[in-house]
Structures are given as structure tokens and as C-alpha cells.
Amino acid sequence: MALCPGILLCGAVMRFVHTVILLFIAAEGLAQTFVDSTYRVELTLTASPAVSVFRNASIPGAAHETAIGGGGFVRALWHPGRLLSIGLMSGYMLINEDEIPAVGPGAGILQNNYHARLTAIPLQVAISMQKHNLDIGIGMGPYLMLTNIEGGNSAPASGQRLELGLTFFGSYFFSAGSNVRIGPELRVLYLRYRGILSWMPSCSVRIDALRY
């Protein structure tokens, strides 16, 4: 029974993803009347603070269920003269950094506390729908989760694993030059790994790297 909330949440997320994809397909079909003859490759750079909420413990030994982090992201999209763009998204995100008190004989005197860090690297396919200055999209695929624990009287320990994740993003851009735009962006990340949900108010810069 403990798995039911996670299963229901995953099912709801997947239904939302399917709806978004269907809307993208419908928009592509309607886009024929909005054809932009310019094909381009767009490069978007994003800097984001992050507030993350955890269904389970953020790091083994940590008691709190929220964390403050941040990261930088980049996505490269091919915009083939339609409403839709497709490409790749990556970056680096600090999800949580925590101090874990040492326990047992000598704790606090002979033994230092442990320092734990949880980070993630997205390796995702991104699809976005653009119209005028509005850009709404989703990233789908794995995140490389990296855990590192140092301190105490033991050698550092680290681990990594791939976890499927969904990254939703929406942005509004203002022109800052012929090929450069800048604007606010909101990113929402969902990871099944410990049930992580992250909210990231961001600032993005979009560059038309190639036009043809």
C-alpha cells in the first residue's frame, strides 16, 4: 500500500506528458498556416536557483524534506520553420548539500560530521512549442544522479545511478539584439529518485546560433 501514492503520482505525470505530446502534434498540424521559412538552431543558457521537496529523506541520515540548491543548464534546439523545436538538454544541478552529525563514541570530539552532496546531470531530449515570444516545452529522459559523502574518520564515498526524469519549462523572451533574446523562465523537475520535485525560477538567454 505504501507504493500507491508513488504509482498514482507517476501515472498522473505520464498522463500529463501524453497530453502535452498530443498538443504538440496538434500544434504541428495547425502550424502550416504559420510557416516561418527560416530554419535555425537555437542555444539557450539558463541559470536557476532551486527549491526541492522530497517524498523520502533527501540524503540518508538527513531529517528535513526540503532543500535549496541551484544549477546551470543548456539546451540546443532545431527549429525547422514550424511551431515545434526539438533537440537536447543537459547541465548540472546541485539538489542538496547537507551536514550529517556523527553518532557513536567520540562523536563531536574525535570524529567529524559527515558532509553529503546530491547532484544531477540531465541527459534529455527536449521538445518545445514556440509562438511569438513564448516558449513552452518538456525534457524527457535520464538524469545522472551523483552522491558524495565525505568527513568523519573514513574515506570519501560516492555513487551514481541513472534515473528517469521529466523537466517542464516555460519562458518568455525579450529581444536583446538581432540574434539574442533574454527572459524569465520557470522550470519544474520531477524525479522518481526519492520522489524529488524541484521548482526553479530562472533567467535564460537564447541565441540563434545558426540560421539557414
What CATH code is carried by the domain that includes residue 132?
2.40.160.20
Mean pLDDT (whole number) for 84-101: 89
Given a cut of 80, is residue 164 above it in pLDDT?
A: yes
Predicted pLDDT of residue 89: 97
Given a contact cutoff of 8 angstroms between Cβ atoms, the answer to whether 17 and 140 are in contact is yes
pTM greater than 0.85: no
Output the CA torsion 50→56→61→67 (10° steps): 10
Report pLDDT digits (tens) over 22-67.
555 554 454 444 445 578 899 999 999 999 998 876 666 566 678 8
Given a contact cutoff of 8 angstroms between Cβ atoms, the answer to whether 85 and 91 are in contact is no
Given a contact cutoff of 8 angstroms between Cβ atoms, the answer to whether 121 and 147 are in contact is no
| Number of domains the chain is built from | 1
Domain span at 131: 4-211
